[in-house]
Amino acid sequence: MRAGFLPASKARLFRNMLIEYTRKRLETYARVAAGDVRGEQVADAASTDLQGQLWAMAAGAARRDPRSPFFADVTRSTIDTINVSEEQTAALNDHVPRNILAIILLCTILGAMLLGLTFGRARAPNVLLSGIFCLLFAATVFTIIDLDHPQGGLIGVDVSPIKATLTEMTNAPASRLIRSHVSTFRQ
């Protein structure tokens, strides 16, 4: 919406680049989910290039008229978009350190040994409570491992909000976007 404050030719170009940028981000997530490391790198590099172009346009407009709150808004929105992208990239690439996974595995083995010792010493071991303990322990371990892979496990990152935004950007007429933003701004 804020792109509507740019000069008409730049606004159209900015919107088209933003749409392409959003498509590249979605492609990056799809490549991560598919385990396509090379494809992920290519899509991520393309989106980074588009980020640079978007930033150049926004910063250029703000430099030409530094007092304009509209150009400052476009610049701030571009910065927010880039920051979100960096956070998402970090979330996709940062993993639980192997040392932590080793500690979790060690705790699992020790917990199983202690449970076995308890079973051996007890005259009438409580099988139900022991089973519940094992299930909870296993669920905790698998949840930690699953969260470590946000695009490949049972617990996935939902990209439908990004898809909905892309649909809205590609289907909404530019004039409606400008009017809705101006009316919101006046409130």
pTM metric for this prediction: 0.66
Q: What is the per-residue pLDDT across 69-95, written as a single tens digit (0 to 9) for each?
A: 888 888 888 988 888 888 877 777 777
User: Would you state the pLDDT for residue 38?
Assistant: 92
User: Residue 178: what pLDDT?
Assistant: 44
Amino acid at 176: R
The pLDDT, as a whole number, for residue 62 is: 85
pLDDT band at 166 (very low <50, low <70, confident <90, very high): confident
- Residue 42 reports pLDDT greater than 70: yes
Domains of the chain, residue spans:
2-94+158-180, 98-147
Mean pLDDT of 49-72: 88
How much is the pLDDT for 162? 83
- Report the chain's mean pLDDT, rounded to a whole number: 81
Distance of CA 169 to the CA centre of its chain: 19
Given a cut of 60, whether residue 183 has pLDDT beyond it is: no
User: What's the pLDDT band for 21 if we cut at 50, 70, 90?
Assistant: very high
The more confidently predicted of residues 182 and 19 is: 19
16-24 long-range contacts, CB within 8 A, separation 24+: 17/50, 17/53, 17/54, 17/57, 18/54, 18/81, 18/169, 19/166, 19/169, 19/170, 20/50, 21/47, 21/50, 21/51, 21/54, 21/81, 22/162, 22/165, 22/166, 22/169, 23/166, 24/50
Nearest-angstrom CA–CA distance, 163 and 149: 21
Instruction: Tell me the pLDDT tens digit for each residue of 107-153.
Output: 888 988 888 888 788 788 788 888 888 888 888 888 888 877 766 66
Average pLDDT for 57-77:
86
Give the whole-angstrom CA distance, residue 153 versus residue 92. Answer: 12
